[in-house]
Every structure is written in C-alpha cells, then in structure tokens.
C-alpha cells in the first residue's frame, strides 16, 4: 500500500511517498521519497517563524514539492490516482494558516484522484517516525531481547519546538498523555537560549554546536587554563542552572524558568561572551537531565517494554547518546528507538507512516470532515 503524505504544520513544506507492507504482526515501511522545502533561511532574519510568511511560502511550494515526491517515488501525476491508496495530511497541532495550505491541497488531490484522505495528528506523525525502518538493526538499539517489531506498552518522549510530552502507547492509535510542559517546549527553550546568547537560528543545533566546543578538552584548556585539567567541571566555572521539576511527583515539565535562570546568569557575568560554550553546555545538560530522568521514571512506573524519542530535539546528539547509556544501565530490559536523523524534524514520511496504520484499520477521514485543529490533542 502506497500513501502520499503532506506536512505543512509550521515552516517546512513536505511531501513523501511511503510504502507499507504487512505480514502477520510484522510490517515494513519503505520511504520511496521524502521531499522537504525548508523556510529556515527566510525566517532566520526575524529570529523565529512568521506565520503569514510561512503560509505564503507553503502556497508557492506545495505543488512543486508534491510533484518531486511523486517523481522520486516513480509515480506520475497521471498514474498517481491508480497507484496510491490514500493521501495523508497533518491537520494539527500547528499554525492555522500553514496547516490550511496542506489540508486544502490534500482535499483537492483526493477529489481529483478519487482517493481517500487520512487526517493525521502532527505529534502522532513524530511518534511514527520511529516505525520507519524499525525492523532494521541500525534503528533499534538495546534490542537484543526483542523481536523485529516494536513492542507495547511503549512510552514516547516527544520533544519539539512546540511540544514536550510523555505519551504511553498501548497499541497502534492508543495513546495516553502522561505529562507535558506547563510552559515552554524543550525546543522553544533551546531557541530562546540561543537568542539570549546570540548564537544563531534555529536554536537547538546552534546551542548543541556551542556545547560541543565545551566538551572538547582543548577548548577547556585554552580558555580555562587556571582551572583546567581534563576533569574541569561546569561547577568549577560557577555555572549551575536548575533542573526544573526533575523531582516533581508527576510527569510534567517546565522550561521557561530555566531560560530565565540562564538570562540572570548571563546578566551577572561580565565575561559571559567568552564562555558561551560552557553556558550552552550547562543549559543543554539541564534539559537533558530532566528529560531522561522523567522518561526513565515513567518507564519504570508503567513497566514499559519500549522507549522511543520523537520530535526535532531528538536530533540532539548528546540527548541521543546519554539516553542510550542511561537506558542500558537503568532499565536494560527496555528496547530503545530513536528515529533516523532525517525523520526527527518535521517531514512528511512520518505523516504517511502514521497513516499506513490508520489505513490498516480502515480509519479514513471523509473530505467534508477533514479540518484544521491547531490545538489537536492525541487521541
Ligand atoms: O519537530 P520540529 O522540526 O518542529 C516542531 O514540530 O516544532 O522541531 C523543531 C525544534 C526547534 O525548536 C529546534 O531548535 C529543535 O527542534 N532542534 C534541536 C536540534 N535540532 C532541532 N534541539 C536541540 N538539539 C538539536 N540538535
Ligand atoms: Zn514537529
């Protein structure tokens, strides 16, 4: 079954064709094409996504992006209606004017090609990025004890620019939100921290790059000679940021205080510009500590068989590495999945992948019912 996926929730115009096959409890999802037109360079000058600008760009880009996705998958416009089984589109959460561009395009193509539509929750899409190539060894780590399929109950930490959520999954389409952020999302916190330090946009990769400099001992040596030896700790540099809500008796998060703590720390330090890597390192580590601690606690409480990461922040190398290490030592019986890097940030392959499992359940969305839901909840 081949599905065309469309994703325009924020500032990426994306289309993909994914082929799903099922045999018993096993399935394979093959990405035949995955085209993304990024608007990062346009929004960079404003320091964030400008919704009106994003929407106009989607309108310009959507048809060429879909055309490329079809061609790359070996389909033509003339034959697409016969070769595809459905069109999937992200319906929310996201920016209303951005989402509309994708939804109206999906409706029109569905009408013209007489194909069923599948509306997909954007977060569900991020979760299903883990199911792409899930059977391959490279995707699953710590997976010696599992068979080649993702086992439930699973827990997913979704960390993106708009969301930080811990979700438990008891089967395809069966979700329960265990906790979420009370204020800023983890990615948003990275973006704001980057803005405070003036290191670039988008903030996540920029902060991560600065933090990586701190981790290189040469940098520490040159910059902190008096203190420095290979064991120099951030505490010796007197940079210590809080780990918000790390010991709270629930699975909620809060990152806006962390960003404020960073701002106060920078305000107090006349020489902060010379120490950006160490501030970035401490900030990143504070976010990582909270995310890992709470996820592992939830996994232990609910006897989880599989832990998955999802969303743009899961592209963070240190987060991926430290998660792997902690799971190995603290809950070795759990399998751990992280999406391939190209499927962590917004893309349409993840939307088509999620849609494949809806299609198996014959869960299609009539075109009259498909609509934008900016604050869509996972159901
Ligand atoms: O999932 P995504 O592409 O879009 C949303 O649905 O929000 O996530 C974008 C977010 C941005 O906040 C970006 O700064 C963050 O993901 N991000 C990262 C990294 N790469 C992207 N955060 C930390 N480290 C990274 N390497
Ligand atoms: Zn996203």
The pTM (predicted TM-score) of the whole model is 0.91
The 10s digit of each residue's pLDDT in 99-116 is 999 999 999 999 999 999
Name the residue with tokens 């319906």: 91
Domains along the chain with CATH numbers: 2-133+342-360 (3.30.420.40), 154-338 (3.30.420.40)
Percentage, residues of the chain above pLDDT 90: 78
Distances (CA, A) of 17 to 30, 116, 210, 336: 9, 15, 36, 26
- At residue 227, the pLDDT reads 45
The 10s digit of each residue's pLDDT in 22-50 is 877 778 899 999 999 988 888 888 878 88
For a mutational test of ligand 1's pocket, the pick from 161, 210, 322, i.e. the residue with the most ligand atoms closer than 8 A to its C-beta, is 161
- Closest ligand (CA of 11): 1
DSSP letter at 334 equals S
More confident call, 80 vs 218 = 80
Ligand 1 atom with the shortest distance to the CA of 191:
14
**Which residues have CB under 8 Å from 289's CB, separation 6+?**
243, 246
pLDDT band of residue 234 (cuts 50, 70, 90) is: low
Cβ of 48: how many Cβ atoms within 10 Å?
16
**What are the tokens at 78?**
């003339």
Mean pLDDT of 330-342: 94
Output the ligand 1 site: residues, CB below 6 A.
10, 160-162, 187-188, 190-191, 202-205, 208, 311-313, 315-316, 345-346
188 C-alpha to ligand 1 centroid (Å): 8
Average pLDDT, the chain: 90
Beta bridge partners of 253: 181
Q: Which of 19-28, 189-198, 256-265, 319-328 comes out lowest in average pLDDT?
A: 19-28
- At residue 238, the pLDDT reads 67
């Amino acid at each position: 079954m081949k599905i065309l996926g469309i994703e325009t929730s924020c500032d990426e115009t994306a289309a993909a064709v994914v082929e799903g096959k099922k045999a018993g409890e096993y399935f394979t999802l093959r990405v035949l094409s995955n085209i993304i037109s990024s608007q990062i360079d346009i929004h960079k000058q404003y320091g964030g996504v400008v919704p009106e600008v994003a929407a106009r760009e989607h309108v310009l880009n959507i048809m060429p992006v879909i055309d490329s996705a079809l061609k790359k998958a070996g389909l033509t416009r003339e034959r697409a209606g016969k070769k595809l089984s459905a069109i999937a589109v992200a319906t929310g959460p996201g920016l209303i004017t951005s989402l509309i561009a994708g939804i109206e395009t999906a409706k029109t193509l569905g009408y013209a090609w007489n194909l069923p539509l599948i509306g997909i929750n954007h977060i569900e899409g991020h979760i299903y990025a883990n199911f792409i190539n899930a059977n391959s060894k490279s995707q699953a780590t710590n997976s010696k004890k599992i068979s080649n399929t993702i086992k439930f109950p699973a827990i997913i930490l979704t960390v993106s620019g708009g969301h930080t959520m811990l979700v438990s999954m008891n089967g395809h389409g069966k979700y329960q939100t265990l906790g979420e952020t009370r204020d800023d999302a983890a990615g948003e916190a990275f973006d704001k921290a980057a803005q405070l330090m003036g290191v670039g946009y988008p903030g996540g990769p920029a902060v991560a790059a600065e933090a990586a400099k701190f981790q290189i001992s040469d940098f520490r040596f040159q910059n902190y000679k008096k203190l420095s030896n290979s064991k120099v700790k951030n505490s010796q540099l007197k940079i210590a940021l809080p780990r918000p809500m790390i010991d709270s008796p629930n699975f909620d998060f809060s990152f806006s205080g962390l960003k404020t703590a960073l701002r106060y720390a920078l305000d107090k330090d006349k020489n902060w510009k010379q120490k950006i890597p160490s501030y970035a390192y401490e900030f990143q580590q504070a976010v990582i500590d909270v995310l890992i601690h709470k996820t592992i606690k939830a996994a232990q409480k609910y006897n989880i068989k599989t832990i998955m990461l999802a969303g743009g922040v899961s592209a963070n190398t240190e987060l991926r590495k430290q998660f792997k290490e902690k799971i190995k030592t603290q809950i070795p019986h759990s399998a751990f999945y992280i999406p391939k890097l190209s499927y962590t940030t917004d893309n349409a392959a993840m939307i088509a992948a999620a849609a494949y499992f809806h299609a198996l359940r014959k869960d299609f969305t009539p075109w009259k019912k498909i609509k934008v839901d900016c604050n869509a909840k996972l159901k």
